[in-house]
Structure 1
Amino acid sequence: MTTRFAPPLTRLIEELRKLPGVGTKTAQRYAFHILRSADTDAEALSDAIRALKAALHLCSVCNNITDVDPCSYCTSPTRDQRLICVLEEPTNIAAIEKTRSYNGVYHVLHGTLSPVNGIGPDQLRLGNLWPRLTALVASASDDSQPAAELILATSPTVEGEATARYIADEAHKRVPTVRITRIATGVPAGSDIEYADEVTMTRALENRRVL
Structure 2
Amino acid sequence: MAEGGEDIQALIAALARLPGLGPRSARRVVLSLIGRKPGQMAQLATLMSRVAETARACTRCGNISEAEICAICTDPARQTGELCVVEHVADLWALERGRAFRGRYHVLGGTLSALDDISPEDLGIPRLLARIGPEQVTEIILALNATVEGQTTAHYIADALPDGLTVTGLAQGVPIGGELDYLDDGTITAALRARRRF
What TM-score do you get using the length of structure 2 for normalisation? 0.76
User: 2:168 matched to 1:181?
Assistant: yes
Cα distance change of structure 1 residues 187 and 115 upon mapping to structure 2, 3 Å threshold? closer
Shift of 1:53: 1.4
Shift of 1:85: 0.6
Shift of 1:36: 2.8
Q: Given the alignment, which residue of 134, 153, 162 partners 1:163?
A: 153
Shift of 1:4: 5.9
Could you say which residue in structure 1 is the equivalent of 2:56?
57
User: 2:144 matched to 1:154?
Assistant: yes
Query: Whole-Å Cα distance in 2 between the matches of residues 182 and 86 of structure 1?
Result: 9
Query: Whole-Å Cα distance in 1 between the matches of residues 131 and 122 of structure 2?
Result: 19
Shift of 1:97: 3.1
Could you say which residue in structure 1 is the equivalent of 2:182?
none
Q: For structure 1, list consecutive stretches of 5 or more residues without a partner in the other structure.
A: 138-146, 189-206
Which deviates more, 74-83 or 59-68?
Answer: 74-83
Contact 2:78 2:102 in 1 (8 A): yes
Query: Whole-Å Cα distance in 1 between the matches of residues 118 and 18 of structure 2?
Result: 21
Query: Whole-Å Cα distance in 1 between the matches of residues 56 and 195 of structure 2?
Result: 40
Contact 1:3 1:10 in 2 (8 A): no
Query: Whole-Å Cα distance in 2 between the matches of residues 17 and 101 of structure 1?
Result: 34
Cα distance change of structure 1 residues 187 and 89 upon mapping to structure 2, 3 Å threshold? closer
Percent identity at matched positions?
34
SS of alignment partner, residue 85 of structure 2:
strand
User: Aligned residue pairs: how many?
Assistant: 178
Could you say which residue in structure 1 is the equivalent of 2:29?
30
Shift of 1:116: 4.0
What TM-score do you get using the length of structure 1 for normalisation? 0.72
RMSD: 2.8
Query: Whole-Å Cα distance in 1 between the matches of residues 81 and 173 of structure 2?
Result: 27
Map 1:1-211 to 2 at 5 A: 5-136=4-135, 148-171=138-161, 175-185=162-172
SS of alignment partner, residue 125 of structure 2:
coil
Shift of 1:99: 4.2
Cα distance change of structure 1 residues 165 and 41 upon mapping to structure 2, 3 Å threshold? same
Contact 2:87 2:144 in 1 (8 A): yes
Contact 2:170 2:195 in 1 (8 A): no
Cα distance change of structure 1 residues 33 and 167 upon mapping to structure 2, 3 Å threshold? same
